[in-house]
C-alpha cells in the first residue's frame, strides 16, 4: 500500500536558514505517527513544512501520490491537510458561530452545517439547567443569591442570562437535533461519539470522552475557561456527590472506614482512570493522568475560580422553580421579565 504522506530528503527552515536536514517520513492511511524530540529539534518545522509554512530548500513531500511541496496552505486545506496547533487558538473578537464558520470555511456546505448543528444541547433536566442559569449570571458580574442566601432572579444580569440561554435554545444552528429529548448523560454520550462539538461546564464528560473505550474523540478533547460578559469573570461551578452514613446504620464504623478508604489518594486516582473526576490535587497533577488527559491539571485553576451553591435546605425547591423557569423560557414566547418576576414570587412564597 502506498503511503498517504511521503516525505523524502526534506531540508527546510525559515528565511533561507535550514532547521531540518534530509528528513524522511512515511505515513500510511489510518496510521498515527509520533514525532518525538527535545525543544528545538525541529518537530514543528517538519509539520509546518507539510502545511507550507516554512521555506523548503530541497526534498519532496507527496500526499496521496501527488507532490505538494510548494503548494500554498490555502490550497492544501481543501485537500484534507490541516494543522491543529496545541494552543488551540480562536479569534476572541468573533462569536462562537463565526469561529466555527472560519474553522470549516474550506469544507463542503453540507459538512459545515453538520458541525454547526451539533454545538449545544440545552434543555431543562432537573438540575443542570439551574447550574447553567447560575453560571450565566455570575459570568456577567451578577449574583444569584444575596448575602442571606435568598435568590435574586430580577437583576439585569439575570435578564441578560435568561435572554442568552433562550436565544441559544431556539437557534437551530447551535443546538443538537432533537435536543429536547436529551438528558445530560445522553448529551455526554453524543459528545463522546463526536456528534456534539461543545459542552459547557461538564469537565466530567471531557474526561469520559478521553477514557471510554468506545469514544470516537479520544485524544481530541480539550477544556477551556467559560467566557465572561462585561463586568463579569470566567467561573466554574463545584458540584459534588456526597457519600454519607445513614443515622440508622448498624455498621457505622465499617461505613466510616469505607468512606475514608474512598477518600484516599489511590482511590481518588482510580476514580479518575475509570472515567469519573478525582478531587485531590495529587490526582490533578499526576503525570500519568495528564499524559492521558493533558488538560487534567487545569482542574486546580478551575477549582480556584469555582463558585458553589449556598448551603440551604431550600435549594431543592429553588432548583425546581428555576427548572420551571427554564422550561417556560425555551418553550413559550412569554417576556423574560414576566418569567423572572414569576419565579421570584414563587421563591419568596
Q: What are the pLDDT digits (tens) for 211-264?
A: 788 888 888 888 888 888 778 888 888 777 778 898 899 999 999 999 999 889
Cα separation, 153 vs 341, in Å, equals: 7
Grid cell for residue 238: 463545584
DSSP letters spanning 286-304: -HHHHHHSTTGGGHHHHHH
Query: What number is the average pLDDT over the span 262-286?
Result: 89
176 or 40, which is more confident: 40
Strand-pair category, 5-14 with 66-67: unpaired
Bridge partners for 307 per DSSP: 237
Q: Which residue has the higher pLDDT, 10 or 229?
A: 10
**Reported CATH class of domain 5-79:** alpha beta
Are 256 and 245 in contact by the 8 Å Cβ rule? The answer is yes
For the chain, the structural domain boundaries read 5-79, 89-115, 117-349
* 62/76 Cα distance (integer angstroms): 12
**Gyration radius of the chain's alpha carbons:** 25
Percent of the chain with pLDDT over 90: 26
The pLDDT, as a whole number, for residue 267 is 94
Over residues 279-331, the pLDDT tens digits come to: 899 999 999 988 888 888 888 888 888 888 777 788 888 888 998 998 888 88
Give the mean pLDDT of 56-73.
88
pLDDT tens per residue across span 132-185: 888 889 989 999 988 777 899 999 999 999 998 888 877 776 777 777 777 777
Q: Which CATH topology does 117-349 take?
A: D-Maltodextrin-Binding Protein; domain 2 (3.40.190)
pLDDT at residue 178, as a whole number: 72
pLDDT category, 52, cuts 50, 70, 90? confident
**Is the Cβ–Cβ distance between 294 and 312 less than 8 Å?**
no
pLDDT at residue 93, rounded to an integer: 67
The confidence score (pLDDT) of residue 115 equals 46
Percentage of the chain with pLDDT > 70? Answer: 86
Instruction: State the chain's mean pLDDT as an integer.
Output: 82
Say if 5-79 and 117-349 have the same CATH topology. no
Distances (CA, A) of 273 to 26, 204, 219, 242: 33, 12, 15, 20
In this model, does residue 83 exceed pLDDT 90?
A: no
Whether 215 and 158 have beta carbons less than 8 Å apart is answered as no
Most confident of 72-76, 232-236, 334-338: 334-338
pLDDT one-digit tens code per residue, 160-169: 999 988 888 7
Going by the DSSP 8-state scheme, the letter that residue 219 receives in this structure is: T
Amino acid at each position: 500500500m502506498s503511503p498517504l504522506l511521503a516525505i523524502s530528503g526534506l531540508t527546510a527552515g525559515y528565511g533561507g536558514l535550514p532547521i531540518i536536514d534530509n528528513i524522511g517520513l512515511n505515513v500510511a492511511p489510518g496510521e498515527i505517527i509520533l514525532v518525538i524530540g527535545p525543544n528545538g529539534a525541529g518537530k514543528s518545522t517538519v509539520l509546518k513544512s507539510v502545511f507550507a509554512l516554512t521555506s523548503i530548500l530541497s526534498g519532496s513531500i507527496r500526499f496521496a501520490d501527488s507532490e505538494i511541496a510548494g503548494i500554498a496552505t490555502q490550497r492544501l486545506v481543501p485537500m484534507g491537510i490541516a494543522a491543529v496547533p496545541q494552543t488551540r487558538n480562536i479569534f476572541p473578537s468573533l462569536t462562537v458561530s463565526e469561529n466555527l464558520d472560519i474553522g470549516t470555511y474550506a469544507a463542503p456546505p453540507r459538512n459545515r452545517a453538520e458541525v454547526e448543528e451539533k454545538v449545544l444541547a440545552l434543555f431543562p433536566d432537573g438540575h443542570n439547567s439551574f447550574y447553567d442559569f447560575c453560571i450565566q449570571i455570575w459570568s456577567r458580574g451578577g449574583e444569584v443569591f444575596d448575602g442571606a442566601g435568598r435568590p435574586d432572579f430580577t437583576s439585569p444580569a439575570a435578564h441578560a442570562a435568561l435572554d442568552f440561554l433562550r436565544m441559544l435554545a431556539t437557534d437551530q444552528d447551535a443546538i443538537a437535533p432533537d435536543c429536547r429529548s436529551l438528558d445530560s448523560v445522553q448529551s455526554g454520550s453524543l459528545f463522546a461519539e463526536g456528534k456534539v462539538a461543545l459542552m459547557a461546564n461538564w469537565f466530567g464528560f471531557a474526561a469520559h470522552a478521553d477514557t471510554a473505550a468506545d469514544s470516537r474523540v479520544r485524544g481530541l478533547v480539550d477544556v477551556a475557561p467559560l467566557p465572561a460578559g462585561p463586568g463579569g469573570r470566567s467561573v466554574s461551578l463545584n458540584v459534588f456527590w456526597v457519600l454519607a452514613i445513614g443515622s440508622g446504620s448498624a455498621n457505622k464504623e465499617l461505613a466510616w472506614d469505607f468512606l475514608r478508604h474512598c477518600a484516599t489518594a489511590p482511590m481518588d486516582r482510580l476514580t479518575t482512570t475509570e472515567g469519573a473526576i478525582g478531587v485531590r490535587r495529587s490526582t490533578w497533577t499526576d503525570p500519568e493522568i495528564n499524559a492521558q488527559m493533558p488538560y487534567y491539571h487545569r482542574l486546580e485553576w478551575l477549582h480556584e475560580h469555582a463558585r458553589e451553591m449556598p448551603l440551604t435546605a431550600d435549594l431543592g425547591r429553588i432548583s425546581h422553580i428555576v427548572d420551571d423557569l427554564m422550561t417556560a423560557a425555551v418553550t413559550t414566547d412569554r417576556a423574560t421579565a414576566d418569567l423572572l418576576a414569576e419565579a421570584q414570587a414563587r421563591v419568596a412564597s
